[in-house]
């Protein structure tokens, strides 16, 4: 098979779109505890918050007013964000809470780095208080998230806060489109994480698999190894202290090609989470980290090819 790509054809490998809503400081001391009923009332009953006066609307964030941030979760990600926030400009952490604690006040934007089972409660709290929300927890599903959020707050979901990982997803899509015209080529994903990570495969691996399925019609989904016919094979390893490793593989009889991203420190994700908190403030609807990354990454794919310019 010929691998030559004309410059015009090369540009069609990339699909660029503008971000849009998708359908689909120190911690507080001894905050009050809550149960799920603080967020969701039994059928026919009025939630406690509904009987109280609605909280005042959040004032638009301005550059000279620090962004007030809350953090759900004191695990690896939440702790890393809290530490990195100490040196962040224009941002202050109002509270950072472990599991089972209720915040005392709304904030401009809150990070959910807790547990999959708590995400819906936190979404409902954010909607009720008018606090924008960034979800960095993995393994959760809320099919009606867009309906739940509406245009009341902004919500950003992120399986991975690394800008380079978002770039990897775009390159995976290009690789899949290349494989679509290469019948002998197979596609697969390998991912490795520390032995405390509860879900497998990772949210990032699922996002990469979705990109491969989008780009190569031969595949209709993914499956954990061994691969099922017509499925992208995904292999997951949970051992040791690996922060995060993802590899996308094209395997053909006469050649192979791999795309790899390895995180060396959780500070990488903490810095990305802080940028996501700034980005979502003031927006309405549901976005992904990929929407945020589009503003910085998609222009890279609009560069002219040398043949188009005539000279390099």
Tokens found for residue 250: 């094209």
Enumerate residues 6+ apart whose C-beta is below 8 A from 119. 112, 135, 137, 140, 142
Cβ distance 306 to 177 under 8 Å?
no
Distance CA 303, CA 169 (A): 19
> What distance in Å separates the CA atoms of residue 97 and residue 287, rounded to the nearest whole number?
24
Whether the Cβ atoms of residue 149 and residue 285 lie closer than 8 Å to each other: yes
Q: Which two tokens stand for residue 209?
A: 């698999």
What residues are annotated to the active site?
A: 193, 197
Query: Please, which residues have CB within 8 angstroms of residue 9's CB and are 6 or more apart in sequence?
Result: none
CB 128 within 8 A of CB 157: no
Gap between the Cα atoms of 69 and 107, Å rounded:
6
For residue 84, which of 275, 289, 262 has the smallest C-alpha distance?
Answer: 275
- Kindly provide the b/e burial profile for residues 153-172, where b requires at least 16 CB atoms within 10 angstroms of the residue's own CB: bbbbbbbbbbbebbbbbbbb
Backbone angles phi, psi at 143, to 5 degrees: -60, -30
Residue with tokens 């976005």: 287
């Amino acid at each position: 098979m010929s691998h030559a790509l004309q410059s015009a054809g090369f540009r069609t490998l990339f699909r660029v779109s503008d971000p849009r809503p998708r359908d689909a400081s120190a911690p507080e001391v001894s905050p009050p505890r809550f149960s799920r009923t603080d967020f969701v009332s039994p059928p026919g009953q009025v939630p406690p918050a509904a009987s109280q006066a609605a909280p005042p609307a959040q004032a638009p964030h301005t550059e000279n007013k620090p962004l007030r941030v809350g953090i759900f979760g004191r695990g690896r990600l939440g702790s890393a964000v809290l530490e990195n926030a100490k040196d962040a400009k224009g941002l202050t952490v109002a509270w950072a809470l472990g599991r089972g604690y209720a915040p005392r006040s709304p904030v401009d934007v809150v990070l959910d780095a807790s547990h999959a089972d708590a995400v819906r409660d936190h979404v409902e709290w954010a909607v009720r208080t008018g606090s924008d929300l960034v979800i960095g927890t993995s393994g959760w599903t809320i099919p009606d998230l867009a309906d739940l959020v509406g245009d009341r707050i902004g919500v950003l979901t992120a399986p991975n806060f690394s800008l380079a990982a978002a770039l990897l997803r775009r390159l995976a899509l290009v690789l899949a489109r290349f494989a679509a015209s290469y019948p002998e080529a197979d596609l697969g994903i390998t991912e490795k994480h520390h032995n405390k990570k509860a879900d497998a495969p990772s949210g990032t691996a699922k996002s990469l698999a979705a990109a491969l399925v989008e780009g190569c019609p031969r595949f209709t989904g993914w499956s954990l190894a061994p691969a099922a016919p017509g499925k992208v094979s995904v292999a997951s390893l949970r051992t040791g202290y690996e922060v995060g490793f993802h590899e996308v593989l094209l395997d053909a009889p006469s050649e192979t090609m791999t795309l790899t991203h390895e995180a060396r420190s959780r500070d990488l994700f903490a810095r990305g989470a802080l940028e996501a908190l700034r980005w979502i403030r003031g927006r309405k609807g549901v976005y992904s980290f990929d929407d945020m990354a589009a503003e910085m990454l998609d222009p890279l794919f609009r560069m002219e090819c040398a043949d188009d310019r005539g000279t390099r």
